[in-house]
Amino acid sequence: MHKMKILKLILVALLLSQVTLACDNNKNATENNTDENEVYQNPVVPKSLPDPTIVKAEDGFFYLYATEDIRNTPIHKSKDLVNWEFVGTAFTNETRPDFEPDGGLWAPDINYIDGKYVLYYSMSVWGGEWTCGIGVATSDSPEGPFTDHGKLFRSNEIEVQNSIDPFYIEEDGKHYLFWGSFRGIYVIELTSDGLSLEPDAEKQQIAGTAYEGTYIHKKDGWYYMFASIGSCCEGVNSTYTTVVGRSENLFGPYKNKAGQNMMENHHEVIIHKNERFVGTGHNSEIVKDDAGSDWIFYHAVDKNNPQGRVLMLDEVQWQNGWPYVDGNSPSNVKKVPVFNE
């Protein structure tokens, strides 16, 4: 009887040690974000955050900005691209840009230039294609407050109808702004601080009239122009679709796989609708995680709750020099990005 009691105690001790070890392993996996079974669900933010743009700040957080369904340009922050915290707005009612007095702040583009957070923005009223324009604001902090520096140009000044949807990029020590919405995609050179047009700079058309919301990603000697086609804002009837073309030169020509030119509105589809999500477009910058995977944000309309344009996240993979998303459509559940901190 005495031996049986000892044997039971030994078995209990072994079971307790295994439970403790399992708990420690789970804790370590959570802390290091290395659990292969950890997943996220789309939408990552089930609130309207159209036209997202993202930057990794000096404090180690990612900051995301969007068209102002929340007035004055909402700002969210995250450590892992999945869990987002609303931290405020870029402007207040007193500091918001006013060169289009009744205009909304649309399609921002955030950048870090010479120690400043530089935010390009569109300002427009719906249908005001000759009075809209693009402005710029700066801040010492990604959370703001942002100081507005006013407009860079309006449509009627630069003679490009529907001048919205800015995108900033640097190349060979020079600074450029791409923009445009269904009236051609254009580029122009900026000054070194990014706050005004380079004197005597001339605009150049880069792509045709099917596109808006452009973003250019450099990889392996190629320039990939991501853009959106279709209608952004018709609820469950939206036809927005994310497309891409590539070039060996920043200024084009950008072509599809068959060698047809984006100036003639040829491209490859990368994200289209599925049974649940429609209006899949206006993507953010691509972010690389610590495992080397690429991730992209965009917005969509969720048929299960079609209120606004919710924030979506998907992995961008590469094959034969071209980007793709699994199924060419939004995921429902996917493994989380890997960040070791």
Domains of the chain, CATH where assigned: 51-335 (2.115.10.20)
Mean pLDDT over each residue of the chain, to the nearest integer: 91
Per DSSP, the residues of 178-199 read EE-BSS-EEEEEE-TTSSSBPT
The set of long-range contacts for 246-249, using a CB threshold of 8 Å and a minimum separation of 24, is 246/222, 246/321, 246/322, 247/222, 247/223, 248/221, 248/222, 248/223, 249/223
Q: Of 51, 100, 129, 143, which is the active-site residue?
A: 51
pLDDT digits (tens, 9 = 90+) for 204-213: 999 999 999 9
Find tokens 């630069």 and name the residue. 158
**Contact call for residues 59 and 69 (beta carbons, < 8 A):** no
pLDDT band at 341 (very low <50, low <70, confident <90, very high): confident
Q: How many other C-beta atoms are found inside a 10 Å radius of the C-beta of residue 2?
A: 6
Measuring CA to CA, how many Å separate 271 from each of 34, 133, 198? 28, 28, 35
What number of H helices and E strands is found in the chain? 2, 24
Q: Of 68, 129, 212, 302, which is the active-site residue?
A: 212
Whether 51 sits among the annotated catalytic residues: the reply is yes
The DSSP letter of residue 261 is: B
Which residues are registered as beta bridge partners of 139?
Answer: 117
pLDDT digits (tens, 9 = 90+) for 264-319: 999 999 999 999 999 999 999 999 999 999 999 999 999 999 999 999 999 999 99
Q: Are strands 174-179 and 185-190 parallel, antiparallel or unpaired?
A: antiparallel
Whether 268 sits among the annotated catalytic residues: the reply is no
The share of the chain scoring above pLDDT 70, in percent, equals 89
Q: What is the pTM of this model?
A: 0.89
CA gap 229, 28 in Å, rounded = 44
Residues 6+ apart with CB under 8 A from 24: none
